[in-house]
Amino acid sequence: MTSDIADPLTIDTEILETLDEDNRLTRDYVDRVLDAMEAGDAQEVYRLVEPLHEADIADLLELTPSERRGDLAISMGELMSAEVLAEVNDYVREDIIDALPAAQVAGLAGQLDTDDAVAIIEDMEEEDQQAVLAELDPEDRAVIEDALSYPEESAGRIMQRELVAVPEHMTVGQLIDYLRDHHELTTEFWEVFVVDPQHKPVGTCKLSWIMRSQRKVPVSDIMKHEQTLIPVDMDQEEVALRFQKYALISAAVVDGAGRLVGVITADDIVHIIQEEADEDILRLSGAGEGDINEPISDSYKARVRWLIANLGTAMVASFIIAQFGAAIETMVALAVLMPIVASIGGNAGTQTLAVTVRALATNQLTQSNTMRSIWREIRVALLIGATIAVIAGVGAGVIFDNWLLAGVIAAAILCNISLAGLSGVAIPVLLDRLDQDPAVSSSIFVTMITDSMGFLIFLGLAVFSGLAG
């Protein structure tokens, strides 16, 4: 009698053949899957994809050309699961959702925790969103519509409604029986929230405490009274900072009246931290969302406006250079050396800017230590400036055999790096005080200052010292 169950060793071997040494899907494997799909062999597609983990299936969809993702999702059948849909990139998810019937998308969303379902539905077009919501069970639809009523990137959007809350008059034994008897409760949780008659959280109990306590012990005796409560309208970045600061596993989310309405868990925060960090880095460079799956038109719009702004700052620098045209004509070495002053200053400003934006994002830099942080960065800039100035000055003196020129470029570099340190910390702090995102436009201002002032200081010192006229 033959068994329909595949040999585990065979499956493991096939999985290994799909992944390279860096645990990424190989090109040959992706091509095999796509060839089977093009041939209309859904059975072969299923056979090839079935051994993969949901995260690897998500990678497969992301490696598939945009115009073929929908067909692949359909060909995979039941392997196109809710977990896969939650794992894929936002742009890839749009391609998949566009190809799947609204009823299937609703079925997948209904299998997910509330926060994951909301993440899928919130990015859909209004028409598609309504079509999917209409296919959901009334209870699920009401919960998701309630989540969508909160601001984007707020605690209300990312929280889960699936949690366990019990009254404080319960004993440990009653609580354990309650968890065992009520099968409709969520199956994944780390803490049990204890609430008062108004459903306001008064404490939490870790599962380990519950399992190690005697049945007759009141829950109120073992619960932790101190807890971090998250307002439902708090920004997700602030939520992540609280998890990091207080080393939280999960935290209760409360509405304006202080009632328990949801929970946020550490696994959700990991995604948020990565998302916010990536967002700040890409904003500093003006690269938009920086996703390789982003439509070309969106990438163009996000990037070109910052390059136009950079063009404007470059024209300011060029205007300053033009004012010293006569001096440059009398001494060609000035034209050779002045890009060094601007470039070194720009890089120094970028370093300070990156440190400052990160400090602001993580609440390390606040109103109480702003002046101390500014003075610190100025001292760092002075030390760096002095070091680079000596090296550049000696090099210029040796190469051009002109020690007055060496002194001019050394002084210019010291001044420009010091100015870069000051602007690199002061500009993002000022933007933050004005409730503007310092990661978005700080680099434009810092670059303009270091380029323009670098040229002005260097050429101005050259004229003032009599080196060139």
Mean pLDDT of 410-421: 94
pLDDT of 415 strictly over 90: yes
Considering only residues 427 and 16, tell me which one the structure prediction assigns the higher pLDDT: 427
- How far is it, in rounded angstroms, from Cα 18 to Cα 11? 11
Architecture of domain 165-285: Roll (3.10)
pLDDT, tens only, 95-135: 888 888 888 888 888 888 777 888 888 878 888 888 888 88
Please choose, from the candidates 447, 448, 442, the residue with its C-alpha nearest in 3D space to the C-alpha of residue 426: 442
Contact 432, 364 (CB under 8 A): no
Q: What's the rounded Cα separation, in Å, for the pair 277 and 361?
A: 9
Mean pLDDT of the chain: 85
**Every domain of the chain and the residues it spans:** 19-149, 165-285, 296-465
At 326-361, the pLDDT tens digits run 888 888 888 888 899 999 998 998 889 888 887 887
| Dist. CA 338–CA 418, nearest whole Å | 17
- pTM here is 0.64
H or E, element range at 167: strand 165-167
- What is the layout of strands, in order, in the sheet containing 165-167? 165-167, 191-195, 201-206
- Classify domain 19-149 at the CATH superfamily level: MgtE N-terminal domain-like (1.25.60.10)
Helices 266-285/236-246 angle, 10° precision? 120
Average pLDDT over residues 356-380: 85
- For residue 20, the model assigns a pLDDT of 79
Q: Would the pLDDT of 10 be above 70?
A: no
In whole angstroms, give the CA distance from residue 316 to residue 450. Answer: 12
Q: How far is CA 98 from the centre of its chain?
A: 25
Q: Which fold has domain 296-465?
A: Tetracycline Repressor; domain 2 (1.10.357)
Q: How far is CA 213 from CA 3, 179, 216, 252, 447, in A?
A: 47, 15, 8, 23, 62
Please check whether residue 424 is in contact with residue 446, taking contact to mean a CB–CB distance below 8 angstroms. yes
Question: CA–CA separation, 195 vs 295, rounded Å?
Answer: 47
* Helix (H) or strand (E) run with residue 265 in it: strand 260-265
The CA distance from 365 to 361, in Å, is 8
